[in-house]
Amino acid sequence: MKATQKLHELGQSLWLDNITRAMLDSGQLQRYIEDYSVTGLTSNPSIFDKAINTGDYDEAIRAKAADGLRGEDLFFELAIEDLRRAADLLRPVHDRTDGVDGWVSLEVSPELAYDTESTVTAARELHERADRPNVFIKIPGTPEGLPAIEESIAAGVPVNVTLLFSAEQYVAAAQAYQRGVQRRIDAGQNPAVASVASVFMSRWDVAVNDRVPAELKDRLAVAVGQGIYRAYRELMDSDTSQRLANSGGRVQRLLWASTSTKDPSAPDTLYVHSLAAPFTVNTMPDNTLEAFFDHGEVTGSLPADGGDGDATLAAFADAGVDVDAVAAKLQSDGAAAFVASWGELMGRIESQSAVLQA
């Protein structure tokens, strides 16, 4: 049995962190679903930017530009077309799991990160435009994004909370989700609005590897992940979660993101086999998925109590690493990088529209 199937049987969902029109046209995504146990998909501006740069979207861009579409409007038309197709391929999974799995994700403009009202409006409109029940709208879990997460959940919009790095950031996002669910219960509405909390992993090790002893290299992300998983299990067992579940609410699933290994000397499946755990998701790019399918191993599950994560974090503290400060910087830098990627994507859309029309 392949490692991808073993991971699925352990109770973890494997999602693909990529989407291109070529992948859809060639049947590659369908093959990943059928042969690699892939049950969901995530996307971001950088992924679409690279895909559009291949030229596969030229005809579509030319046609939409001729119809007067520009910038964000043109991009969202392209992205929604792709994500609808992916959502349809994953719809059997979504139906079979009663909405637990089988999701795809679309991001609101990161330029709205500091505007709660506009983010909520954009999330609602994008979900309506996608016109599929298994589409998450991605909203950053920054302090400014938390009110938008609560408002969107209260409005019945499924949310993929992104840009989380630490246990504290995760808990804040999970509580925002729970507040949104509670508001639906109070209003007599269906509280079963799905959500995932996406925690970014590999960037932790990239941030500190050049300033810690060799024995600590490539160990921080997994230690942080152990603490986050403990917080996740504690939250699932909390009185608040049990009370919401008693009224029909659901648990916001934990998702491991940024799981491709950046250090060539580390195992290429480091953030897959180290973060195996039931009722979680691991979204990974093609190369990591292919590597895990080829030679990955499933040797056990993350301990619910966090295992030796605290001891490892203490070793990093002794080495001069302020984990809280690193978490704050990673989230701040990540938000800035999302805005920069968005700007590059909009620039590419605009330049290609002009060239193709000419």
The first and second tokens of residue 11, run together, are 């109770």
Q: Which tens digits make up the pLDDT trace of 32-76? A: 999 999 999 999 888 888 888 888 888 888 888 888 888 888 999
Nearest CA-CA partner of 327 in 199, 174, 140: 199
Say what the pTM is.
0.96
DSSP state at residue 253 = E
**Residue 358's pLDDT band (boundaries 50, 70, 90)?**
low
- Within a 13 Å sphere around the CA of 311, how many CA atoms are in the beta-carbon half? 4
CB atoms within 10 A of CB 114: 12
- pLDDT tens-digit series, residues 281-312: 999 999 999 999 999 999 899 999 999 999 99
Q: How far is CA 335 from the centre of its chain?
A: 14
Rounded distance between C-alpha atoms, residue 286 and residue 289, angstroms: 5
Identity of residue 102: G
Nearest by Cα to 262 from 307, 188, 306, 203: 203
Looking at residue 64, its pLDDT comes to 86
Lowest mean pLDDT among 47-56, 128-137, 209-218: 47-56
Look over the chain and give the mean of its residue pLDDT values, rounded to a whole number: 94
Region 314-340 average pLDDT: 95
Measured CA to CA, the distance from residue 204 to residue 117 in angstroms comes to 31
Residues with catalytic function:
138
Domain boundaries, the chain: 3-357
Measured distance CA(217)–CA(220) in Å, rounded: 8
Alpha carbons 299 and 222: distance in angstroms, whole number: 15
Q: Which of 9, 2, 14, 8 is nearest to 281 (CA)?
A: 14
d(CA 174, CA 164): 11
Contact assessment for residue 283 and residue 40, using Cβ atoms and an 8 Å cutoff: yes
For domain 3-357, which CATH number applies: 1.10.150.120, 1.10.357.10, 3.90.220.20, 3.20.20.70?
Answer: 3.20.20.70
pLDDT reported for residue 44: 85
